[in-house]
Chains A and B, each alone.
Chain A
Amino acid sequence: MHQIIRMDEKKFLAAVRRGDERAVQKLVDLYSPRLYNLALRILRHPQDAEDALQETFITALGKLDQFDGRASFFTWIYRIAVNTSLMALRKRRSRHRKEEPLMWPGFDEIQSRELIDWTADPGRTLLTTEMRQIMDEAIEKLPAKYRMVFVLRDLEELTTEETAKTLGVTTANVKIRLMRARLFLREALAKYFHEHDDTKAQP
């Protein structure tokens, strides 16, 4: 079964290479939904995501001689999309401003504060425009290495191992970056709910 899929993949890629219009359309329709959302989650800007998507396909086709068929074509092109989006993110950031170091709350800081349970009432967790804005601002502040791990693990739902392989870092590294990213993002939401709610949990 596995071999049959691979054979089809070979035939299909050969047709793409010949410039077969239907094959090119199939290539785009097969892979662009996942790759577009990946780019959008990393770059958070539709036009930037579209550009990264186009660049991903062009790079992949230009590098087709390096595709050895050991991984699936999807895994291979997905990694190209990750790298393309990451490079676009870094380029965009260096144009605008330097990345600030990430400040996430430590245990003692959290312990000294009041904690509000903002998960109890589902009505309070509907995404308002203000919340979306706060969430966008918070993720925009995340330095690229934390943001990449958060996007791949929590939004793309890759495993720790897959994320580590995709980014070329250790699983221990993925875990620590994910923890910091989650705590940082949680902090932004906690602050929002603290300002918008008078129901406070007893310590």
Chain B
Amino acid sequence: MTHRQIFKKVCDFIDGELDETTCKQLEKHLVACPRCRIYVDTVRQTIMLYQVKDSPRKLPAKARKQLVATIALKIKKAGNDHKWTKPSCFTGQR
């Protein structure tokens, strides 16, 4: 496998979307080629760093409270206007 092929397949490799034969060929190349290994590792590391950076955050309590109040108010208003209808799954029509 050439360096260029590795470059093209790096994402499929990381995502485990390569067939077994191609995957083995790629791994064999990586053992012998530090440059390509660094390349694959740093792409993987990029994803990992963004995952760490964007790890889940909690919705602030104040925002949650406001959200519940706004939705309840909208429902009340819509109920008065008869705007919101039943979901079709309620009537069995698909």
Q: 1/0 per residue A77-121: CB within 8 Å of B? A: 000000000000000000000000000000100110001111100
Q: 1/0 per residue B16-56: CB within 8 Å of A? A: 01000000000000000011001101111111011111101
Pick the residue among B58, B84, B94 that contacts A70 (CB under 8 A).
B94
Q: A119-B42, A135-B50 known; A182 and B89 CB under 8 Å? A: no
- Chain A residues with CB under 8 Å of B63's CB are 50, 53
- Chain B residues with CB under 8 Å of A24's CB are 68, 71-72, 75
Pick the residue among A13, A28, A46 that contacts B68 (CB under 8 A).
A28
Least CB distance, B80 to chain A, in whole angstroms: 10
Chain B, residue nearest A202 (CB): B34
Q: 1/0 per residue B53-92: CB within 8 Å of A? A: 1101111100110111011101110110001111111100
Least CB distance, B54 to chain A, in whole angstroms: 5
Q: Would you call A30 an interface residue if the criterion is a C-beta within 8 Å of the partner chain's C-beta atoms?
A: no
Q: Would you call B1 an interface residue if the criterion is a C-beta within 8 Å of the partner chain's C-beta atoms?
A: no
Pick the residue among B7, B44, B54, B74 that contacts A107 (CB under 8 A).
B7
- Chain B residues with CB under 8 Å of A115's CB are 35, 38-39, 42
Size of chain B's interface in residues, with CB distance under 8 A? 53
> Considering the chains assembled together, what is the distance between the CA atoms of A131 and B74 in angstroms?
42
Q: Would you call A167 an interface residue if the criterion is a C-beta within 8 Å of the partner chain's C-beta atoms?
A: no
Q: A16-B75, A17-B84, A28-B64 known; A10 and B49 CB under 8 Å? A: no
Pick the residue among A29, A127, A175 that contacts B11 (CB under 8 A).
A175
Q: Would you call A67 an interface residue if the criterion is a C-beta within 8 Å of the partner chain's C-beta atoms?
A: yes
Q: Is the CB of A28 within 8 A of B38?
A: no
- Chain A residues with CB under 8 Å of B56's CB are 33, 37
- Chain B residues with CB under 8 Å of A127's CB are 49, 52-53
Taking A33-B56, A69-B94, A160-B17 as given, write out 4 further A-B residue pairs in contact, using a Cβ cutoff of 8 Å, ordered by the A residue number: A16-B75, A115-B39, A139-B50, A186-B46
Interface residues of A (CB under 8 A from B): 6, 10, 13-14, 16-19, 21, 24-25, 27-29, 32-33, 36-37, 40-41, 46, 50, 53-54, 57-58, 61-62, 64-70, 107, 110-111, 115-119, 125, 127, 131-132, 135, 139, 150, 154-155, 160, 175, 178-179, 182-183, 185-186, 189-190, 201-203
In the complex, 9 of the A-B residue pairs with CB atoms within 8 angstroms, ordered by the A residue number, are: A10-B87, A19-B79, A28-B68, A53-B59, A61-B71, A69-B87, A115-B39, A119-B44, A201-B38
